[in-house]
A and B are shown apart, each in its own frame.
Chain A
Amino acid sequence: MAMRSLISERVSCRSSVLGARWMSSWWRNVEPAPKDPILGVTEAFLADPSPDKVNVGVGAYRDDNGKPVVLECVREAERRIAGTANMEYLPMGGSVKMVEETLKLAYGDNSEFIKDKRIAAVQSLSGTGACRLFADFQKRFHPDSQIYIPVPTWSNHHNIWRDAHVTQRTFHYYHPGTKGLDFAALMDDIKNAPNGSFFLLHACAHNPTGVDPSEEQWKEISYQIKAKGHFPFFDMAYQGFASGDPERDAKAIRIFLKDGHLLGLAQSYAKNMGLYGQRVGCLSVLCEDEKQAVAVKSQLQQLARPMYSNPPVHGALIVSTILGDAELKKLWLKEVQGMADRIIGMRTALRENLEELGSPLSWKHITNQIGMFCYSGLTPEQVDRLTNEYHIYMTRNGRISMAGVTTGNVGFLANAVHEVTKST
């Protein structure tokens, strides 16, 4: 105690003696960073005092009362886990059980690749973490390669590959005229990219457009990518959430696997299991053989270790508890179907409402698009009007999170959209 006061006395004398040099901040020149375009929307929404405000910004599922949902299968899994598990470190590659179950979802329950141990896979920090680990891996082992990113895409994709110092290019994807896929331009871009480029593909429920290639189109894309020796990297954040059926939503991946691609894949449980804040996901890379898979996995771990050492255990335990139990898995599939169905129902309702209001525009794309998001076609100025005049919050690219639409607000939303677009 005496030592402490002695020290602080001497410290306060010293501070004036040592002078002004270290009195100024090292961070004077740090600029305030721009707000994240997506997460900033929710911040603004929360700050709005209006009782009628509507949040169709961030892609987190809401029930028909606009409330966040914890799936029953998750509650049950948590009940079983609480008080039983210890919290020891997972291995660097994460929970083996969780990874096994996750690979089955994507590659198929009876996948030969799983049997032959050809998949290098590690638990990751949700989809973001999986993409980042892959980007770092790509940089380390193909330092001169480029990643082709669709236009548009989830904005954080650009940040991820940029922070991994991988050169970025873009490829055509969304056609603003049709509000659908710009297939011809997409195929041209694949053909014109230098052989051996890396392509980022959304496996299903493209974010932010909701526009997915058809099965036939996927087959052609797969063929062309193979012909050019490109590397396909899939980001699958919505398996089960798009059609309601996880097997169906994995169609693109299965096509590519059948065509012999040695693909990479990021999987996330944020949406389809509602585990957003738990940060659970998986990164996998299909290799030529078991030996190579072991090598690749070890290198992925080398990248994870200096980032966070090993991934969080809780979310992984929830996933493996659910997927490892036949009853809980059945319940999960039912709940996923329920979420997807509600969203599909809201798409129909929004479109019908707009048509009934006599909108001069076509709103077919609302029901053509799939998954959590609708690329409305609204301009940034129209979006601003929606926010300022109607307290409706969405990202300025006109992306509407259908998960935020309810029977309670769909009429209000349709009316507001109609008001800001009717003179278009």
Chain B
Amino acid sequence: MSSGGHGSATDRRLNALFRHLSSSARMDPQQLNSIAASPTSANQNDSVFSHVVRAPEDPILGVTVAYNKDPSQVKLNLGVGAYRTEEGKPLVLNVVRKAEQQLVNDRSRVKEYLPIVGLAEFNKLSAKLILGADSPAIRENRVTTVQCLSGTGSLRVGAEFLARHYHQRTIYIPQPTWGNHPKVFTLAGLSVKSYRYYDPATRGLNFQGLLEDLGSAPAGAIVLLHACAHNPTGVDPTLQQWERIRQLMRSKGLLPFFDSAYQGFASGSLDSDAQSVRMFVADGGECFIAQSYAKNLGLYGERVGALSIVCKTADVAGRVESQVKLVIRPMYSNPPIHGASIVAAILRDRGLFNEWTFELKAMADRIISMRQKLFDALRARGTPGDWSHIIKQIGMFTFTGLNPQQVAFMTKDYHIYMTSDGRISMAGLSSKTVPHLADAIHAAVTRVS
């Protein structure tokens, strides 16, 4: 009998067997429960992770999982925000294909490690894209931009930096917001509070509530702002409202952290969609910006994004960058090269860049036309309620106002897949499928409360 295992499943089995044998042979009771499997027997032993329970499905990504399982011919996936063509297919932009070919044909390219902060050219071009080519902050070298893993990665790295170096550990996030935001900030070490944002009564912005809540936040608190095309509601402040938000935040020293996941995708114009960010940078103050190329360049799975930190001085920006590197190195060492190379190839080339703006506008226009079609279809059916929010909201998502019971009904009876908060991805609709969705909404609203 050897020492070692302490109550493993194997030991218990052996001891049970021994007890069984010993009770019939009347062996020494002292010897009971003292047998242990040899430490190197190949029998299975207890895992140190046997107490780990299965985690619930991610509420957003889980929708696609459920959709994939459904055998229905009329099923519709309006869950995750990935763009689809009129034919319901994923889209790889022409400019991306061209950039890819460039990369493949360039034999001089190697796949060595990028620096911790990523591809330098990509970083410069990304800063210009969001801040504007003429941005004084860039000219004055006050911006540090680091390549990160899409929007999620940029948010996480920025939040980790804040948790270590910023005096305020609370971040205010809008109510509602993208489901992953609270987890990102919590795991980074920040505590999360919320500010009022969406008004279910008007299906628009609760501007008063927003001003009150930000007004009563402690000085210096971090505030998450969706740069444009708020996810999940599609409700954005007007420019005048942005200006008031800016004034309030600067007067209280609140630190803006922009999440820009839809630049160009909301209105169709890259510059218009960056107005909110540029407004804040123009006043000379500091801010964080998380940029994603997942949607506007269709690079979803390549995980391309950038974190920009606009600082007061170049010296500060340099020191901040060195500390951001310490966050990244123990997370994944350096970012993936492929997606960033594609983006750099497009942004640096005037022809490709222009072509991109056309493709971007086409995607945004298609979504805007889907909004109009859905609105018209509901009107035609006489569906009770005011559905004008469908055409007032902007970006990939519509916050329908449907409740979880209505959503569940639409999934069960009409095979429509969406998140239970009533958010639908307009990008997943086509002229052919709008009628089916309109039927489903009509049925849900009239039959389920």
Complex Cα–Cα for A112 and B243 (A): 63
Query: Given A126-B333, A159-B329, A277 and B112 touching (CB < 8 A)?
Result: yes
With a CB–CB cut-off of 8 A, which chain A residues contact B330?
128, 132, 156, 159-160, 162-163
Q: Taking the nearest CB of chain A, how far is it from the CB of B388, in angstroms?
A: 23
Q: Which residue of B lies closest to A257 (CB)?
A: B42
Interface segment, A79-87, A238-246, A320-328, A414-422? A79-87
Are B42 and A60 in contact, with the CB atoms below 8 A?
no
B26: CB under 8 A from chain A? no
Interface segment, B17-25, B122-130, B293-301? B293-301
Q: Taking the nearest CB of chain B, how far is it from the CB of A230, in angstroms?
A: 9
Select B90's contact among A33, A88, A163, A275, beta carbons within 8 Å. A88
* Number of chain B residues close to chain A: CB under 8 A: 104
Complex Cα–Cα for A4 and B269 (A): 15
Are B50 and A14 in contact, with the CB atoms below 8 A?
no
Q: Classify chain A's interface size.
A: 35 or more
B255: CB under 8 A from chain A? yes
4 smallest CB-CB distances across A and B, nearest first, come from A277-B337, A313-B301, A25-B312, A125-B332
With a CB–CB cut-off of 8 A, which chain A residues contact B246?
11
With a CB–CB cut-off of 8 A, which chain B residues contact A226?
4, 39-40
Interfacial residues, chain A to chain B (CB-CB below 8 A): 3-4, 7-8, 10-11, 14-15, 18, 21-33, 36, 39, 43, 58, 60, 68-70, 74, 78-79, 82-83, 86-92, 125-126, 128-129, 132, 141-142, 156, 159-160, 162-163, 195-196, 222-223, 226-229, 231, 258-260, 262, 270, 274-279, 285, 287-288, 292, 294-296, 298-299, 301-303, 305-315
Complex Cα–Cα for A224 and B115 (A): 40
With a CB–CB cut-off of 8 A, which chain A residues contact B312?
23-25, 27
Chain B 309-334, CB-CB to A under 8 Å as 1, else 0, gives 00111001011101101110111111
Are A70 and B111 in contact, with the CB atoms below 8 A?
yes
Q: A87-B299, A277-B112, A312-B338 are in contact. List 18 more A-B contacts (CB 8 A).
A: A15-B283, A27-B286, A30-B165, A70-B109, A83-B97, A126-B333, A159-B330, A223-B40, A227-B4, A227-B39, A259-B42, A277-B114, A288-B47, A301-B55, A306-B180, A310-B303, A312-B301, A312-B336
Are B152 and A308 in contact, with the CB atoms below 8 A?
yes
Are A22 and B40 in contact, with the CB atoms below 8 A?
no
Complex Cα–Cα for A56 and B54 (A): 46
Can you list 28 A-B pairs with a CB-CB distance of less than 8 A?
A7-B239, A14-B247, A23-B312, A24-B312, A30-B320, A33-B322, A43-B115, A69-B110, A74-B111, A88-B82, A90-B301, A132-B331, A156-B333, A159-B326, A226-B4, A227-B4, A229-B6, A260-B43, A287-B47, A287-B49, A288-B47, A292-B47, A308-B149, A308-B152, A310-B301, A312-B149, A314-B336, A315-B338
Are B53 and A260 in contact, with the CB atoms below 8 A?
no
Complex Cα–Cα for A301 and B183 (A): 13
Interfacial residues, chain B to chain A (CB-CB below 8 A): 2-6, 9, 39-55, 58, 61, 80, 82, 90-92, 96-97, 100-101, 103-104, 109-116, 149-150, 152-153, 156, 165-167, 180, 183-184, 186-188, 220, 239, 243, 246-247, 250-251, 253, 255, 275, 279, 282-286, 294, 298-303, 311-313, 316, 318-320, 322-323, 325-327, 329-339
Query: Given A27-B165, A299-B52, A163 and B239 touching (CB < 8 A)?
Result: no
Complex Cα–Cα for A8 and B239 (A): 12
Query: Given A92-B58, A276-B113, A309-B150, A23 and B300 touching (CB < 8 A)?
Result: no
Complex Cα–Cα for A90 and B82 (A): 12
Q: Which of A275, A276, A277 has the most CB of B within 10 A?
A: A277
Complex Cα–Cα for A232 and B347 (A): 46
Query: Given A30-B165, A39-B116, A307 and B311 touching (CB < 8 A)?
Result: no
Query: Given A31-B319, A307-B331, A25 and B336 touching (CB < 8 A)?
Result: no
